Amino acid sequence: MNCYAERRARRSGAPLIAHVIYGLRTGGLENGLVNLINHMPVQRYRHAILCVTDYSDFRLRIRRGDVECYALHKPPGKTPVFYVKVWRLLRRLRPHIVHTRNLVALEAQIPAMLAGVPARLHGEHGRDMGDLDGSNVKYQRLRRLIRPFVHHYIALSRDLERYLVEKISVPPRRVTQIYNGVDTALFHPARSAREALPARGFCDPGTFVVGTVGRMEAVKDQLTLARAFVRLVECREDLRRRLRLAIIGGGTLRQPTRDLLNDAGVGDLVWLPGDRGDVAELMRGFDLFVLPSLAEGISNTVLEAMATGLPIVATRVGGNPEVVAEGRVGSLVPAADPGAMAAAIGQYADDAVKCAEHGAAARAAASERFSLDAMVRAYVAVYDRLVGAEAPIVGTA
């Protein structure tokens, strides 16, 4: 955005929120941010997105024409020049709120304070391979060190809320827990029979399609799902004839997953198309959704699958138990346990009634508990409080 456009945007009078994230690419956190911006009333807030690294064509999913993305291209390690760059940009943009997300963006709170940003918010969305269960002491110390610069926190799950209060010593009054929301109009059940996937053999009569969607990175652990699938088709000839696996997404695990499946001789039963822009349509071609992650906050893809009316098999990590009501909308299994995952998938493949009942309950839960409107209202309420009230003094509890 050029300087003239920035001045024109400021004259609109709506407060500006500067969202700081690692990068605007395909991912659950990024999808949640795009949904928030797209569905927030235009007249309430303006938005800018500051990417610690850079952004991709994913930014084109933002439907507002006044949202500018800034790529900061931070090199690895601690680089003072980067923080000066953040400070200068914030001094120029003059946002009313800086909203950082996850540990990788948290340190931007310091240049935000030095730039005079009046309200500073931080969101905890999930964990990565360096801290799967929140026990990493180094990360806890860093969060506690920066805690005095943050006025308020948003935790996507009760699990993350407990972490902030118990491990980071954030006073409960400074934490708001907000679940992700899902667009139940976009993600809806198939009108009648399962919709066709553009993969050979996936539409044959009697086939049962197991699907997942997500970044193919270590923390998402699609390799465990692949191993579970191999176990099932090796142990049961009937499932080899009718079971199919769709893994949607791109990333460093895509080729290792493909190699594992090909080496096991089941490559013809699997579809790995990479990143897709038609996820809502593809999900309506699944019979069962599986989330094999090693760590999660609140999974957007699980909510999308629930809104699509799919039963769920998910790992018992992070916020998954808060979303997947075990025995009602799905099954929970231990992380990194192909045997347990295979058993859960097999139960659904054998029980059409259970699939239908859990899928219907999942759709109802998505509509009642995880609506996009409820998420947007909750975020706007936090932003309104920060803009409308004097922010706490830095350094107070």
Q: What is the pLDDT of residues 145-182, one digit of tens each?
A: 999 999 999 999 999 999 999 999 999 999 999 999 99
Average pLDDT, the chain: 93
185 found inside a domain:
no
- Mean pLDDT for 322-349 is 97
214 found inside a domain:
yes
CA atoms within a 13 Å half-sphere pointing along the CA-CB vector of 243 = 26
At 277-309, the pLDDT tens digits run 899 999 999 999 999 999 999 999 999 999 999
Range of the domain at 229: 208-370
Name the region of 309 (left: φ>0; alpha: ψ -120 to 50; beta: rest).
Answer: left
187 found inside a domain:
no
264 found inside a domain:
yes
Residue 168: exposed, middle, or buried by beta-carbon count in 10 A (0-12, 13-18, 19+)?
Answer: buried
In the DSSP assignment, the letter for residue 23 is -
Q: Residues 6 or more apart from 54 whose CB is under 8 A from it?
A: 23, 24, 71, 73
Do residues 171 and 135 share a domain? yes
At 266-278, the pLDDT tens digits run 999 999 999 998 9
Do residues 316 and 357 share a domain? yes
395 found inside a domain:
no
With cut-offs at 50, 70 and 90, classify the pLDDT of residue 110.
Answer: very high
Do residues 348 and 378 share a domain? no
Do residues 27 and 166 share a domain? yes
- Mean pLDDT for 204-221 is 95
Do residues 158 and 251 share a domain? no
Of 171-185, 311-325, 378-392, the poorest mean pLDDT is in: 378-392
Do residues 14 and 143 share a domain? yes
Amino acid 12: pLDDT: 60
157 touches 176 (CB < 8 A):
no
Total domain count, the chain: 2
- Mean pLDDT for 68-95 is 93
Do residues 133 and 280 share a domain? no
At 3-18, the pLDDT tens digits run 444 455 455 689 999 9
Percent of the chain with pLDDT over 90: 87
Do residues 73 and 10 share a domain? yes
351 touches 359 (CB < 8 A):
no
299 found inside a domain:
yes
| pLDDT score of 360 more than 70 | yes
77 found inside a domain:
yes
Do residues 320 and 278 share a domain? yes
Instruction: Output the domain CATH number for residue 68.
Output: 3.40.50.2000
At 12-57, the pLDDT tens digits run 689 999 999 999 998 889 999 999 999 999 999 999 999 999 999 9
222 found inside a domain:
yes
In the DSSP assignment, the letter for residue 55 is B
232 touches 224 (CB < 8 A):
no
| pLDDT score of 324 more than 60 | yes
Do residues 86 and 214 share a domain? no
Do residues 168 and 28 share a domain? yes
Percent of the chain with pLDDT over 70: 95
Of 301-310, 322-331, 384-393, the poorest mean pLDDT is in: 384-393
Query: What's the pTM value of the predicted model, to 2 decimals?
Result: 0.88
| pLDDT score of 89 more than 70 | yes
Do residues 220 and 158 share a domain? no
- Mean pLDDT for 329-334 is 98
- Burial string for 35-70 (b: 16+ CB within 10 Å, else e) reads bbbbbbeeeebbbbbbbbeebeebbeebeeeebbbb
